Structure 1
Amino acid sequence: MASTARSLATCIFCKIIKGEIPSYKLIETELSFSFLDIGPLSRGHALIIPKDHAVKMHELPDEYLADAMPIAKKIAQAQGLENYNILQNNGRIAHQEVDHVHFHVIPKPTAGDDEGLVIGWPTKQLPKDEMVKIYEEIKGKL
């Protein structure tokens, strides 16, 4: 309990929600808070943060997830975006920098790698028996 209270007290996103740190607020609902990213990858890069302090998405109650995506959609529509990414990372090795669930809306205005999210997609080919094994393992737990 002490570490959770400490996390809440030091979490930059919790401070933004409380108004302790100023932000360029876009949309606020009972469950979510959205604002412009102050270190944007492109013009209009925004964040959507649940008001529940969960570190990873699987720890967040479903109603917060259901609230976040319509906000992402509204932000994309308000900017008239044709191309954009919705990004959400869980854990340091998955590039999560702030220990509070958050979603990025990242406009991709140009075809090159100079603006917006730049990613590689290192696909792998798995043998069919390995795919079946993975499928059965996951499906059996759903």
Structure 2
Amino acid sequence: MNEIDLHYPPEACPFCNIASAFPAPSSSLRTPTYTEQAASIPTEKEADHEKVSPNAYVVLASRDVVAFLDILPMTRAHLLVATRVHRVKVQDLEGEESREIGFWLPILARVVSRVAGVRDYNIVQNNGARAAQVVPHVHFHIIPRPETMPQIQNKSWTMFGRGQRDELDDEEGVKIAGEMRSVLREELKLICGKDKVGKL
């Protein structure tokens, strides 16, 4: 184990806490139907943000992937897409997890774009402390890039850092996550089409 693994062992990992508080649907099919994929999007009641501490604003809770708002967002609608099982780096992913992340990531990018009202965004994934990975659990950041950038004291727009990142307000988090779940359902209907079977 390296030092970052010791800093955040799986039993103390905040992303593992979120994954366990928001269980996956009970289907075991490897090619889920639209209905089974849609069951991965929590209802308003299931998405109770106070199930864990700190609060989690969950958008997706599928078999192998969870997606939730960053609680220290760089911009409005900054979303994290994480593996359900504790994996430290991308190299630790197994095949099914990789396929499922590959399925959901472009869909969630469209959701972020629509909800944030932007056309440009970053998808960032860090591996290890020297690569700016703060929580040692595989996750992708989808960061909307609005036309008007937020005011930053040092006038530089860096990808990550310890600069100005305000905590996500509870009311705003609930609102954004609810809107994202609604848009995600719409996107899922569009890609599944008439046969109602997704391609994982």
Same fold (TM over 0.5): yes
Deviations 1:85-132 (A, max 9, x none): 1110001110000011111110011265758x734xxxxxxxxxxxxx
Which residue of the partner structure matches residue 77 of structure 1?
A: 110
Unaligned runs of 5+ in 2: 22-50, 160-200
Q: Which of 26, 30, 34 is the matching residue for 2:67?
A: 34
Unaligned runs of 5+ in 1: 120-142
CA distance in 1, matches of 2:97, 2:105: 13
Q: Decide whether the 8 Å contact of 1:24 with 1:36 is kept in 2.
A: yes
Which residue of the partner structure matches residue 12 of structure 2?
A: 10
CA distance in 2, matches of 1:88, 1:31: 17
Q: Decide whether the 8 Å contact of 1:85 with 1:108 is kept in 2.
A: yes
CA distance in 2, matches of 1:90, 1:76: 20
The alignment covers a number of residue pairs equal to 117
Matched-pair identity in %: 32
- One-letter amino acid matched to 1:56: K
The answer to which structure, 1 or 2, has the higher relative contact order (CA under 8 A, 6+ apart) is 2
TM-score (norm. length: structure 2): 0.52
Deviations 1:54-98 (A, max 9, x none): 111101113212212332222222242410011100011100000
TM-score (norm. length: structure 1): 0.71
Q: After the TM superposition, list the runs of 4 or more consecutive aligned residues in structure 1 that deviate by more than 6 angstroms.
A: none
Which of 1 and 2 has greater Rg?
Answer: 1
Q: Which of 108, 119, 133 is the matching residue for 1:96?
A: 133
- One-letter amino acid matched to 2:158: V
SS of residue in 1 equivalent to 2:9 = helix
CA distance in 2, matches of 1:69, 1:85: 16
CA distance in 2, matches of 1:114, 1:68: 33
Which residue of the partner structure matches residue 169 of structure 2?
A: none
